[in-house]
C-alpha cells in the first residue's frame, strides 16, 4: 500500500457460522493486501459489518450494529463504514437509500474484492490486488468451520436463504480436503462441517450426493480427531450416512437435524419434504444404530395456521423424544417467502407463550439428561481457560458456540482432550474435575 503505516480494519461478524467463514475469508484478503486487522473498532480506520438478514431480529441487530459504528465515525474515530453479508445482499438498493450511515453496501459477490472497496472508502487505490489468500481463522486454534456448500434448492415456505444465497452449490472434494489439511497443519483438531443443506453435498457437482466419501477423506487426515456435521435435512438421510456415523471413530456421534415442526398439517404448509411418521422412524433408527448419539434440533412456533392442538402435538413430541438440545424460534414473516402470503397469522402474545412453553420443556429435559451424567467419566475437548483460571470444554455431543459446556476443576490444557469425572449438572452446563494426573490423549477416545 502507498501509505507509510498500515491502515486498520475492524470486522463485525453477525449471524451464523456460514457468515463467520465469509468473515474469515475477508480477513485473509484484507491482511494479504496490506491491511492490519484490529479487534478494537475505536482503533479502526474502516469498519466492515458482515450482516445477517435471515429473520426480523437479525436484521434489526445488523442495522443497529451499523448505526453504532456510524457514531464512531461522527466522533472522528472511524473514517468509513462498509456493510456486506446477507442483509446487504437481500436489501442492497433499499439500504443504499434508507441507510446513508453505511458508506458502501456490498452484495455477497463483492466480498472477494473487499480490499479494493476499503481502498475506495479511504480514497486510496493500487494497480493490482491479491484475490486469493488463506482465510484467517477467527475461531480458537484447535477447532474450525469448513463450509462444504452454500445456498439451498429446497423451497421451505418460511426460508429466505435461496433468495439470498442462491441455488445449492458445493465446493469440490479436492479443494475441501486441501483446506482441511491446511487447517490441521495449523493445529485444528475438530472440524465442523457447515452448509445450508449438508446431506445433499456434491449432488450439483457429481450428479449424486458425495457427503460420505467427503467425510471419509476428511476423517483420514491424521490430526483431525473430531469430525462434526451440522445442518442435516431430515428427508434425505441415507443408510450409507447412518453407517458412517455408527462406524467411523472420528465422526462425532452427534446429529444436528432442524425439524421445524412435527404436525403433518404444519409441515405441509411449511413445504417440508417429510412427515411425522417418517421423522419418528428416522429418529428411532438413528438411536438404534448409533448408541448414545447426541441429538440437536430446532423448531418454529407460531407458524401461520398453527393451531393450539398442533402446537400441543409439537410440545408432546419434544417431551417424548428428549433431544439433548432443541432451540425454539418464533416465526418471523419474511418478504418474498411463500409463508408471507399465508393466512392464519398467530398473534404475537400467543407466539411468545408457545415459545416460553417449548423452551421450558426442553430446559427440563436437558437438565434431566445432564443430571444423569453425574458420576460418569467423559472425554472433553478443552476450549479455553477463563481469566479466573477455570477451564471450559465440550463433550462429543456439544457443538461449539451453540450447545452446552463443561466447567473443569483441576489441571487441563486448552486444545487437548482430557478425561473428566462429571460432578454437577445444570440444564446447559456440567461441572467436572480431572484427576491429579489427567489422562490426555492425542486422539479422542483412546485410552
The pLDDT assigned to 411 comes to 87
Domain presence at residue 153: yes
pLDDT in tens, 111-160: 999 999 999 999 998 989 998 999 999 999 999 999 999 999 999 999 99
Q: Are residues 335 and 437 in the same domain?
A: no
Q: Is residue 183 part of a domain?
A: yes
Where residue 414 sits, what CATH number does that domain have? Answer: 2.40.50.140
Residues 258 and 187 in one domain: yes
Cα-flanking dihedrals φ and ψ of residue 145, to 5°? -85, 145
Q: Judge if 319 and 204 occupy the same domain.
A: yes
User: 381 lies in a domain?
Assistant: yes
Please state the length of the chain: 447
What pLDDT score was predicted for residue 388?
86
How many separate domains does the chain show? 3
* Nine cell digits for residue 85: 453479508
Stretch (H or E) spanning 32: helix 17-32
Q: Is residue 39 located within the same domain as residue 70?
A: yes
Residues 223, 354: one domain?
yes
What is the side-by-side order of every strand in the sheet holding 254-256? 254-256, 294-301, 325-330
Residue 210's domain comprises 143-371
**Using CA atoms, how far apart are residues 81 and 117, in angstroms rounded to an integer?**
11
Q: Which residues contact 406 (CB under 8 A, 6 or more apart)?
A: 378, 380, 392, 393, 394, 395, 398, 420, 422, 429, 430, 431, 432
Cell of 104: 458502501
Sign of CA dihedral 33, 35, 39, 41: negative
- Whether 1 is in a domain gets the answer no
Parallel, antiparallel, or unpaired: how do β-strands 440-441 and 417-426 relate? antiparallel
Cell numbers placing 317: 413430541
pLDDT of residue 438: 47
The pLDDT of residue 195: 96
Residues 360 and 394 in one domain: no
Flag whether 268 is in a domain.
Answer: yes
Can you tell me the distance from the alpha carbon of 245 to that of 255, in angstroms, rounded to the nearest whole number?
9
pLDDT score for 439? 52
b (16+ CB within 10 A) / e for 281-295: ebbeebeeebeebbb
Do 336 and 385 sit in the same domain of this protein?
no
Tell me the CATH number at 335.
3.80.30.20
The verdict on residue 424 lying in a domain is: yes
Residue with cell string 417429510: 274
**Range list of β-strands (E), 7-52:** 8-13, 36-37, 46-51
Provide the pLDDT for residue 1: 47
Mark which of 371, 403, 423 sits at the end of a domain: 371
User: How many whole angstroms separate alpha carbon 446 and alpha carbon 191?
Assistant: 18
- Both 86 and 188 in a single domain? no
- Positive or negative CA dihedral for 328, 333, 339, 344? positive
Q: Given the C-alpha cell 409439537, which residue does it identify?
A: 314
What's the chain's average pLDDT?
94
Residues of the chain with pLDDT under 50: 1-3, 438, 440, 442-447
- Do 227 and 104 share a structural domain? no
Do 347 and 387 lie in one domain? The reply is no
Instruction: Look at residues 330, 355, 371 and tell me which one is the last residue of a structural domain.
Output: 371
Residue 36 · residue 158 · CB < 8 Å = no
Angle at 297 between CA 187 and CA 226, to 5 degrees: 20
Residue 131 within any structural domain of the chain: no
Q: Which of 331, 353, 371 is the last residue of a domain?
A: 371
Question: Which CATH number fits the domain that encloses residue 105?
Answer: 3.40.50.12160
Q: Are residues 234 and 334 in the same domain?
A: yes
pTM here? 0.92
Concatenating the DSSP letter of every residue in 329-345 gives: EE----TTSGGGG-S-P
Q: Is 227 buried (19+), middle (13-18) or exposed (0-12) by CB count in 10 A?
A: buried
Residues 363 and 384 occupy one common structural domain: no
Close Cβ partners of 3 (under 8 Å, ≥ 6 residues apart): 124
Amino acid at each position: 500500500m502507498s501509505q507509510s503505516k498500515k491502515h486498520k480494519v475492524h470486522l463485525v461478524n453477525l449471524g451464523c457460522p456460514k457468515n463467520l467463514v465469509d468473515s474469515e475469508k475477508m480477513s485473509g484478503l484484507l491482511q494479504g493486501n496490506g491491511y492490519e486487522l484490529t479487534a478494537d473498532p475505536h482503533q479502526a480506520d474502516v469498519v466492515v459489518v458482515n450482516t445477517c438478514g435471515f429473520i426480523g431480529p437479525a436484521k434489526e441487530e445488523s442495522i443497529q450494529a451499523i448505526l453504532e459504528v456510524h457514531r464512531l465515525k461522527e466522533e472522528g474515530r472511524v473514517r468509513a463504514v462498509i456493510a456486506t453479508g446477507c442483509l446487504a445482499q437481500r436489501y442492497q438498493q433499499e439500504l443504499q437509500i434508507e441507510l446513508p450511515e453505511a458508506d458502501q453496501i456490498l452484495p455477497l459477490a463483492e466480498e472477494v474484492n473487499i480490499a479494493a472497496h476499503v481502498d475506495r472508502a479511504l480514497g486510496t487505490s493500487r494497480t493490482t490486488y491479491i484475490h486469493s489468500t488463506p482465510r484467517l481463522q477467527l475461531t480458537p486454534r484447535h477447532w474450525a468451520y469448513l463450509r462444504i456448500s452454500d445456498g439451498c434448492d429446497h423451497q421451505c415456505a418460511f426460508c429466505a436463504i435461496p433468495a439470498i444465497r442462491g441455488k445449492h452449490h458445493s465446493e469440490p472434494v479436492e479443494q475441501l480436503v486441501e483446506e482441511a489439511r491446511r487447517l490441521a497443519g495449523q493445529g485444528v483438531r475438530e472440524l465442523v462441517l457447515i452448509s445450508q443443506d449438508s446431506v445433499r453435498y456434491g449432488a450439483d457437482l457429481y450428479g449424486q450426493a458425495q457427503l460420505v466419501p467427503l467425510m471419509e477423506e476428511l476423517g483420514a487426515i491424521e490430526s483431525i480427531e473430531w469430525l462434526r456435521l451440522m445442518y442435516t435435512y431430515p428427508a434425505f438421510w441415507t443408510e450409507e450416512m447412518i453407517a458412517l456415523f455408527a462406524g467411523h471413530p472420528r465422526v462425532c456421534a452427534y446429529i444436528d437435524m432442524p425439524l421445524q415442526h412435527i404436525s403433518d398439517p404444519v409441515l405441509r404448509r411449511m413445504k417440508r419434504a417429510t412427515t411425522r411418521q417418517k421423522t419418528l422412524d428416522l429418529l428411532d433408527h438413528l438411536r438404534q444404530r448409533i448408541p448414545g448419539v447426541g441429538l440437536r434440533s430446532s423448531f418454529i412456533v407460531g407458524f401461520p395456521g398453527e393451531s393450539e392442538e398442533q402446537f400441543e402435538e409439537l410440545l408432546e413430541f419434544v417431551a417424548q423424544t428428549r433431544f439433548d438440545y432443541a432451540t425454539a424460534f418464533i416465526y418471523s414473516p419474511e418478504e418474498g417467502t411463500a409463508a408471507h402470503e399465508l393466512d392464519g397469522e398467530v398473534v404475537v402474545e400467543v407466539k411468545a407463550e408457545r415459545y416460553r412453553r417449548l423452551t421450558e420443556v426442553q430446559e427440563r429435559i436437558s437438565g434431566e439428561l445432564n443430571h444423569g451424567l453425574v458420576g460418569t467419566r467423559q472425554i472433553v475437548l478443552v476450549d479455553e481457560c477463563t481469566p479466573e483460571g477455570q477451564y471450559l470444554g465440550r463433550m462429543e455431543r456439544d457443538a461449539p458456540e451453540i450447545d452446552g459446556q463443561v466447567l473443569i476443576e483441576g489441571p487441563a490444557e486448552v486444545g487437548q482432550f482430557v478425561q473428566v469425572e462429571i460432578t454437577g449438572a445444570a440444564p446447559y452446563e456440567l461441572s467436572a474435575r480431572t484427576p491429579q494426573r489427567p489422562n490426555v490423549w492425542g486422539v479422542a477416545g483412546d485410552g
